[in-house]
Amino acid sequence: MKRLRFGLLFLIVALYLPVATALSQTDHNADAQKTEQPEAIKPDAKPEGPPPSAHKPERSTEERGKHEEHCEYRGPAWFSGFYCFFALHDKFWVAFGTLILAVGTAILGFATVFLWRATRQLVLDAKEASQKQFTVSVLAANAAKETADTAKTQAEVARDTLFTMRAQLRAYLVVEADTIEDFETGRVTMGRFWIRNVGQTPPRDVIMATGVEVVPRGQIPTFDAPPADDLRAEPNARSANFFEQILTTKAATRVFRQDEIDAVLADRSRVCVGGRVYYKDIFGDEWRTDFLYVYSGPETRTMIPQQYQSGNRAT
């Protein structure tokens, strides 16, 4: 700022010096005109130097007449002095006006420079502020993302915790084989099995679709298992509720022939007891257990069954 002040002062002085020189020359010429006017020569005195030129008095007279012409004023008398003062010093006021114009131009130039620097600094400040704002926005977005990720993780943990809690508390049904009865000619064979709850809470609305079939060795029968809602909607549908276990007996849908019985006793065929058990837990969710037991050999009542289960997480 001090450098700018010294520069402005230097510019004013530099502009003022030519004007002051012109003013001094103007005043000197005026004095010279006064001295150059011829004085009356005494008769007895001898003229010194060459005779004065007749042209100079005429020019002085013309200049005086010119000044007198510029000073002609027909207005009020009280304003004539002020008017003639400005009229007789027109060169001074032109020079003074030029000086004022130069100073104004210099000031305008400095003001333009100041305005340019201020605008440039304003643009830089705005750019820096926008960059800072952008950085803050990015940090805020990252923080929001981290918060959202944390909330998502917490929600997943809560979901997993709830799922684990429900998995630990709900009922689990498994089917255990028992014996087959009345595996004789002319009688309806009965398959017996236990439905056992290995969970911590009792099952609800237990309903099943099971059957008893004789198939050749190496084949697996297919038991029809309609959806649970269809089974519960049947007119004679019965559902069981228990806490630990229940013994279930399932009759074959037909009487087996003697050749089928002989094939089973000769270990060429098998008696298969299987199906699907539906049940609900205390949370109202539907679950199921698929099972299949096969019997074969000369003593069907003492055979070790083979187990096939699916659809239950307890197995």
The pLDDT, as a whole number, for residue 161 is: 86
Rounded-to-integer distance, Cα 31 and Cα 288, Å: 132
Each residue of 245-268: pLDDT tens digit?
999 999 999 999 999 999 999 989
In this model, does residue 309 exceed pLDDT 70? no
- What mean pLDDT do residues 48-62 have? 49
CB of 126 within 8 A of CB of 118? Answer: no
Q: Which two tokens stand for residue 36?
A: 């150059």
- What mean pLDDT do residues 91-102 have? 82
* CA count, 13 A, side-chain hemisphere, 83: 13
Which helix (H) or strand (E) element contains residue 279? strand 269-280
Q: Give me the helices (H) in 71-190, please.
A: 80-88, 90-169
Q: Which two tokens stand for residue 136?
A: 């803050």
Rounded-to-integer distance, Cα 304 and Cα 265, Å: 14
Angle, vertex CA 214, rays to CA 212 and CA 217, nearest 5: 130
Residue 212 one-letter amino acid: V
The pLDDT, as a whole number, for residue 63 is: 52
Write a three-state SS string for 54-96. CHHHHHHHHHHHHHHHHCCCCCCHHHHHHHHHHHHCHHHHHHH
In this model, does residue 149 exceed pLDDT 60? yes
Q: Which two tokens stand for residue 314?
A: 């307890």
314 pLDDT tier (thresholds 50, 70, 90): very low
The pLDDT, as a whole number, for residue 2 is: 55
CB of 291 within 8 A of CB of 274? Answer: yes
Each residue of 97-130: pLDDT tens digit?
888 888 889 898 889 998 998 898 999 999 899 8
In this model, does residue 67 exceed pLDDT 70? no
- Top mean-pLDDT range of 27-41, 52-66, 82-96, 120-134: 120-134
Rounded-to-integer distance, Cα 38 and Cα 57, Å: 8
Rounded-to-integer distance, Cα 21 and Cα 91, Å: 12
Rounded-to-integer distance, Cα 310 and Cα 291, Å: 7
In this model, does residue 19 exceed pLDDT 50? no
Q: Give me the helices (H) in 170-257, please.
A: 228-232
| Distance linking the first and last C-alpha atoms of the chain | 89
Percent over 90 (pLDDT), the chain: 30
Rounded-to-integer distance, Cα 13 and Cα 21, Å: 12
Residue 117 one-letter amino acid: R
Collapsing DSSP to helix, strand or coil, 223 comes out as coil
- Phi and psi torsions of 20, nearest 5°: -65, -40
pTM of the shown model: 0.52
76 pLDDT tier (thresholds 50, 70, 90): confident
Collapsing DSSP to helix, strand or coil, 205 comes out as strand
Residue 287 one-letter amino acid: W
CB of 195 within 8 A of CB of 163? Answer: no
What is the DSSP code string of 199-263? Answer: SSS--EEEEEEEEEEEEETT---------HHHHHTSTT---B--SSEEEEEEE-SSPPPHHHHHH
